[in-house]
Structure 1
């Protein structure tokens, strides 16, 4: 991190530290709630998106940052947030993390119990072929580091999210945070964790996340988040693209909650915003947004049985492979294998990023898929930091991202990658052509 004057300008009053920050799902949520954040991110492509979006960032390995550069984190930070990489725990992966849940549980207790961390690290390396499994311990290590550092105060609030398989580990976290035992040195938290379905918070996709919220006592018990939308019924029977108009609309569903948000609604709304660059005309028939999506993944345990979603339904879970999903406007197109793909901007909207979010660098589909949906992030952060839900005005404002001057992007890149020797190895490697290996 260079240029102290630049740092002071961009890092003043930063409250939230986002570990494994990705392109900025939680940071975007924090922005629209009026909180400043800084993220630590290993992937240079995601950093480029963050710089373009005006999000303060340190291009670094989370573990290295904790071990050797902890003092560079602004002392104004009092909220620890993050979503450790989920691939080893995800049902879409090989499941190394799921198989190691009991082992990781033991490591959590060993860390809090005060065992030598070098020995713990040695044992962690023997977990298996997927080292990312151990990263689920990093938020705990950051918490312990803050408690054990003389000129730091314990974080006031902790917000963590992961795939549903990690919920048992968040429950272990919560139990220990309530106890204040061992290396927690009597520092206790009110802590709760839940499994949340994104479509129940207005995200136009079905995605389930395990979330932990903890905060220091004195602000009352942590109440569960109140959903705003109805759940999407995954077991609704067989249907085809021609049945799209027969699905229930918001007005047809009784009760105070809204229906889930469909892909068509989300994309149509975004395309009509001022200065929208989204060209969705190819997805329309007779002026109406109407299509269906065939997933890149198998369904029902059969890799050849590709699932379908209608445009009048929420999207499948947006993953880094979303650009491989096939979009058809009719059964005739399906039979002829004449398909389209979602653009990066459209994929981002299905994640509830603003329509004009400045996706940058390479591997943009992977960036989109790795992110926390900002709209879900707004609900979680608002509950954790303010004890209530985001206002309608805040949610409405989250559709458009403010313009970021190039000077700001350059200054943030100087903060995050100014001394490239401190960035992850080979991330700024120059090829024989003289071009950098990533933009």
Structure 2
């Protein structure tokens, strides 16, 4: 495990509040960095996974906690993180939320201008067809609430870390603009950076793009994006004929590692001021071959590519996985019988799907809709890089994620659930009801069929 005891963070004692925490991707990252965290999650099954993993959890509605129980949160929390539900913004979704992004930006302006919460809530009822659209405002509302909290002595969060699908990048840029130029209603200002990052450049064995925002309160230094540790995967530069060489450890070129004279000087002086050469992106075979998956294999994804839903993407074990979504269990896997013949093999288990998201092997996926939990999660390797960059820590060693995850004991799970649900073995009246989760399947808009 990477210890923060000897590392210089911009904060003396980082403590992360993870909104929309899911099954624990960002919390696993914090755990590996030895940073305490508390996750708020609505979905019961995701909470069951979190309890089984031993993660600190509140089974609750993020909005309800802000309105009714904010003062019960640990006052020492100083890092706000979150990835609001992405279904209404995702290219894979129905897109109603994408049409509302400009409207959301208007509400951002109203919030920092100090418009009362009650008036904002009344206006937000226009998103009743899919209230998840308005949830993208919750991180900002939490940041404002912190400055009005008696239990915190009105102390603002020091660091904010947000991530979402790329279509939300304009909202994060608007966040950054108001945090820097207008500030929160109490006058607190932040320095912020926003970018769309490719997770395979941080050691995640899949191609997945995420829009991220990293902000630091003014006075805590300039924020920066995490340093890439791996090369980007570029399909046009890869072919099956290159599998042999691509399967080898990447050897840096002179452009990447500098001249031989410079390298010799670095070795003699012990200087390590320049970034390490980037590694080759991780492939599916790199991370699965040690967990019982025979190689070589092919994977056909469940969704189309190049704008054609009928064109199913196919990748080999020498490539990163396609973006892992809730449909990961539908990916079809083929194994080679010989050079010319393949046969359909067992599909990815939840353990394998989790490993493709960079979760540790043996992570205790629990409850129902486990594939959806995996697909919705923040890849822990990516989370380690985000938190490290946000806190000014060195580039993390994400290889610690290859160590099996120690599942919580029954006593530990009971303790976590007593705190998260109010009882050691069941949900209580304070937990969100499944029937209240939005939107119910029958109310989701459907795409019109082509004539």
TM class by smaller structure: 0.7 to 0.9
SS of equivalent to 1:151: helix
Give the alignment's TM-score, normalised by structure 1.
0.85
Residue of structure 2 equivalent to 1:173: 175
Instruction: Tell me which moved more, 418-427 or 258-267.
Output: 418-427
- Per-residue CA deviations over 1:371-402 (Å, capped at 9, x if unaligned) read 00000000110111234321x3x643553323
C-alpha displacement at 1:413, in angstroms? 0.7
Q: 1:249 to 1:155 in 2, by over 3 A?
A: same
Residue of structure 1 equivalent to 2:433: 425
Q: Are 1:262 and 1:314, in contact at CA under 8 Å, matched by a contact in 2? A: yes
SS of equivalent to 2:150: coil
Q: Give the Cα separation in 1 of the matches to 2:21 and 2:28.
A: 11
- Per-residue CA deviations over 1:305-342 (Å, capped at 9, x if unaligned) read 10011100000011011000000013889988734200
SS of equivalent to 1:158: strand
Asked whether 1:404 is paired with 2:405, we answer no
The alignment of Structure 1 onto Structure 2 pairs a total of residues equal to 396
Q: State how 1:155-170 maps to structure 2 within 5 Å.
A: 155-170=157-172
Asked whether 1:376 is paired with 2:377, we answer no
Q: Give the Cα separation in 2 of the matches to 1:110 and 1:332.
A: 63
Segments of 5+ residues of structure 2 without an aligned counterpart are 1-12, 257-276, 437-451
Asked whether 1:143 is paired with 2:149, we answer no
Q: Give the Cα separation in 2 of the matches to 1:51 and 1:91.
A: 31
Asked whether 1:268 is paired with 2:289, we answer yes
C-alpha displacement at 1:121, in angstroms? 2.2
Q: State how 1:297-336 maps to structure 2 within 5 Å.
A: 297-330=303-336
Residue of structure 2 equivalent to 1:343: 349
Q: Give the Cα separation in 2 of the matches to 1:336 and 1:130.
A: 44
C-alpha displacement at 1:345, in angstroms? 0.4
Residue of structure 2 equivalent to 1:250: 249
Q: Give the Cα separation in 2 of the matches to 1:303 and 1:333.
A: 29
Give the alignment's TM-score, normalised by structure 2.
0.83
Residue of structure 1 equivalent to 2:48: 48
Q: Are 2:332 and 2:344, in contact at CA under 8 Å, matched by a contact in 1? A: no
Q: 1:251 to 1:188 in 2, by over 3 A?
A: closer
Residue of structure 2 equivalent to 1:230: 231
C-alpha displacement at 1:130, in angstroms? 2.2
Segments of 5+ residues of structure 1 without an aligned counterpart are 1-12, 272-279, 429-439
C-alpha displacement at 1:112, in angstroms? 1.2
SS of equivalent to 1:110: helix
Asked whether 1:215 is paired with 2:203, we answer no
Q: Give the Cα separation in 1 of the matches to 2:128 and 2:118.
A: 18
